[in-house]
Structure 1
Amino acid sequence: MSPIMRFILRRVGFLFLTFIVFMLIIFALPRAIPGNPLSTLLSQLFQQAQANPELIKAVYKRLMDEFGVGKPVHIQFIDFISRTLRGDLGTSIAFYPRKVGEIVAAYLPWSLGLLIPATLTSWIIGNSLGALAGYKRKSAVDNLMLPVFLTLSQTPYYWLAMILLYVFAVNLGVFPIGGAYSSGRIPSLTFEFIADVLSHYILPFLSIVLSAMGGWAIGMRVMVIYELGADYINYADSLGLPDRKLLRYVFKNSMLPQITGLALSFGTILGGSLITELVFNYPGTGYLLFRAISTLDYPLIQGVFILLISTLLLANLIVDFVYAYIDPRIRTGYLGE
Structure 2
Amino acid sequence: MRYVINRLGFFILSLWAAITINFILPRMMPGSPADAMFAKFQGQLTPAALDAMKKAYGIGQSTLWQQYIDYLHGLFTFNWGLSFMQYPTPVSDMIRGSLPWTIGLVGISTLLSVFIGTALGVYISWKRRGFLDNTLPVVSMIFQAMPYFWVALLFVFIFGFKLNWFPMAHGYDPAITPGFNGTFFTSILNHAFLPALTLLIGSLSGWIIGMRNNMMYTLGEDYVTFAEAKGVKTSRLMFSYAARNAILPQLTSFAIAIGNVVSGSILTEQVFSYPGIGNQLTSAVQSQDFPMIQASFLLIAVAVLVANLIVDLLYSRLDPRIRTGGE
State whether TM-score is above 0.5. Answer: yes
Aligned CA distance change for structure 1 residues 290 and 30 (closer, same or farther; 3 Å)? farther
- Who is 1:62 aligned against? 52
Match in the other structure for 2:128: 137
* Structure 2 counterparts to residues 69-218 of structure 1, below 5 A: 69=59, 71=61, 74-75=64-65, 76-218=67-209
Q: How far is 1:96 from its partner?
A: 1.5
Q: Relative to structure 1, is the Cα distance of residues 124 and 185 closer, same or farther in structure 2, using a 3 angstrom cutoff? A: same
Q: Describe the shift of the 1:317–1:35 C-alpha distance in structure 2 as closer, same or farther (beyond 3 A).
A: same
Worse-matched range after superposition: 159-168 or 17-26 = 17-26
- Rounded Cα–Cα distance in structure 2 between residues aligned with 1:66 and 1:10: 41
Task: Label 1:238 to 1:180 Cα distance change in 2 as closer, same or farther (>3 A).
Answer: same
* Aligned position for 2:20: 24
Distance 2:247 2:238 in 1: 12
Distance between the aligned counterparts of 1:192 and 1:294, measured in 2?
Answer: 34
The structure-2 alpha-carbon separation of the partners of 1:87 and 1:193, relative to structure 1 and needing over 3 Å to count, comes to: closer
- Name the aligned partner's letter for residue 322 of structure 2: I
Q: What is the distance in 2 between the residues matched to 1:295 and 1:147?
A: 42
Q: Name structure 2 gaps, 5 residues minimum.
A: none
- Runs (5+) with no aligned partner, structure 1: 50-55
What is the TM-score of this pair, normalised by structure 1?
0.87
Match of 2:302 among 297, 310, 334: 310
Q: Whole-Å Cα distance in 2 between the matches of residues 140 and 185 of structure 1?
A: 46
- How many residue pairs get aligned? The number is 324
Tell me which moved more, 268-277 or 75-84: 75-84
Quote the sequence identity (%).
Answer: 35
Shift of 1:280: 0.2
CA contact (8 A) 2:38 2:50 kept: no
Mean Cα displacement is larger for which, 317-326 or 58-67?
58-67
1:60 counterpart letter in structure 2: L
Question: Paired residue for 1:15, among 11, 14, 18?
Answer: 11
How far apart in 2 are the matches of 1:68 and 1:156? Answer: 40
Inter-partner Cα distance in structure 1 for 2:119 and 2:40: 57
Q: Choose 310-319 or 144-153, whichever is displaced more.
A: 144-153
1: distance between equivalents of 2:200 and 2:164?
21
Q: Any idea what the Cα deviations from partners look like across 1:96-145, whole Å, max 9, x if unmatched?
A: 21111111001111111111211111111111111111112222221121
* TM-score, normalization by structure 2: 0.89
279, 290, 299: which one aligns with 1:298: 290
Deviation of the 1:80 alpha carbon: 2.6
Structure 1's 12 and 313: CA in aligned 2 closer, same or farther, altered over 3 A? same
